[in-house]
Structure 1
Amino acid sequence: MLVSKKDIEVRYAETDQMGVVYHANYLVWMEVGRTKLIQDLGFSYADMEKEGIISPVLDIKITYKKPVRYGETVTIHTWIEEYNGIKSIYGYEIFTEKGELSVQATSTHVCVKRDTFRPVKVKNLFPDWHEAYEKAKK
C-alpha cells in the first residue's frame, strides 16, 4: 500500500476565534493530500478533467482527535483505502509536528462525465490509472 505524505504549515487564516484550525480546513488539506497521492502515482487530476471527467465527493467521514494551531506544521498521510474501478475511498491521517494523530478521515469519490454526471469506469478510460490504483490500494 502506498502512503503519500505532505507537510502543510498552518496559516493564521486557517484558525478560528479559539486559535485552532477551523474544522472545514481539514477538508482542504485532504484535497491537498489526494492531489499529492495522485502525483506520487505519476498522474494529474487536471489531465483527467481535460478529458471531461471529474471526481465529485460522495461522502466524507472525519474524526477530530487533537487540535492544531497557527504556526504548527502538520503532515497529511493519504492512501487508497478501497477502489473498485468506479468508486475510490481515500484514507487520511493528519499528524501534528510532534507526531500526534490530529484527524482520521475517509472521502469517497466516483469518476463521472462532466456534462452528464454519469459514472464511468476508470479501467476503460484510464487503464494506467486503474492499474496504478489496483497496485497502490490497501
Structure 2
Amino acid sequence: MKKELRQKLKPYVHLTQYYETDQMKIIHHSNYIRWFEEARVDFLDQIGANYAKMEELGITSPVLSVEAQYKAMVRFGDSVYILPSIEAYNGVKLTLSYRVLDAVTGELRTTGKSQHCFLNEEGRPLSLKRTHPDIHRCFKAYHEHIFEI
C-alpha cells in the first residue's frame, strides 16, 4: 500500500482522572502502561488490525516487554495525546513506541515502548505475512507512521 493511500489517523486523547493520581497529586506511573494499551488498541483499530477481529481469527498478541520514561509530570485534569507508532515489525513480532504529549502545550511528558508477538490458538508463533496477508499489509502500511497534530 502506498504511503499516500494511507488514511489520516487521529491521535488518541486521554483526559486524566482523579483516581489515576498518587499521594503527590500526579498521575501514578503505572497508569501510563494502561494508557499505552488504550492507545495501541485504538491505533490498531484505525489501521485495520482490530484486536477483536484478530482474536476471532485465532490470533493473540501478548506483551513481551513494556517500558516508560517519564519526562514531565501529568496531573489530574490534564488532557494528553498518546501517539503510538510502529517502530519494528517483521510479521512475527511488533514493537510500538509511544509519545505522551500535553494536549494544550504539546510538551513531551512521557515516552515508552512495548513489544508483542503473534501466536496461533495453540500458543505457537505465527507469521502474519504467511497466514494473514491482509493484516500484515495493515502493519506494513503504517510502519513508522508519524502523527500530525
Query: Could you tell me the TM-score, scaled by structure 2's length?
Result: 0.85
Instruction: Tell me, yes or no, if structure 1 residue 112 matches structure 2 residue 89.
Output: no
Asked whether the equivalents of residues 63 and 114 of structure 2 are also in contact (C-alpha less than 8 Å), the reply is yes
| Structure 1 SS opposite 2:44 | helix
* CA 1:4–1:79: 2 relative to 1, 3 Å: farther
Q: 2:53 is matched with which residue?
A: 47
Amino acid at match of 1:107: S
65-74 vs 123-132, which moves further: 123-132
Partner of 2:98: 92
CA RMSD of aligned residues (A): 1.6
Post-superposition, which runs of at least 4 consecutive aligned residues in structure 1 deviate over 2 A?
Answer: 1-4
2-structure distance, mates of 1:3, 1:101: 19
Structure 1 position 42, deviation (Å)? 2.2
Contact 2:39 2:84 survives alignment (8 Å): yes
Structure 2: tracts of 5 or more residues without a match = 145-149
Distance 2:111 2:9 in 1: 14
Structure 1 residue aligned with 2:79:
73
Deviation, structure 1 residue 44: 1.3
What is the Cα deviation at residue 3 of structure 1? 6.5
SS across alignment from 2:11 = strand
How far off is 1:61 after superposition? 2.2
Which consecutive unaligned segments of at least 5 residues does structure 1 have? none
How many residues end up aligned between the 2 structures?
137
How far, CA to CA, are the matches of 2:27 and 2:131 in structure 1? 38
Distance in 2 (alpha carbons) for counterparts of 1:56 and 1:101: 27
Read off the aligned partner of 1:41 and give its amino acid letter.
Answer: I
Identity %: 35
Kindly indicate whether the alpha-carbon contact (under 8 Å) linking 1:76 and 1:92 is maintained by their aligned counterparts in 2.
yes
Residue 8 of structure 1 corresponds to 14
Counting strand residues as a fraction of each chain, which structure ranks higher? Answer: 1
Shift of 1:67: 0.9
For the residue of structure 1 that corresponds to 2:106, the secondary structure is: coil
Counterparts of 2:13 and 2:31 in 1: how far apart (Å)? Answer: 14
User: 2: CA distance between counterparts of 1:90 and 1:105?
Assistant: 8
SS in 2 for 1:55: coil
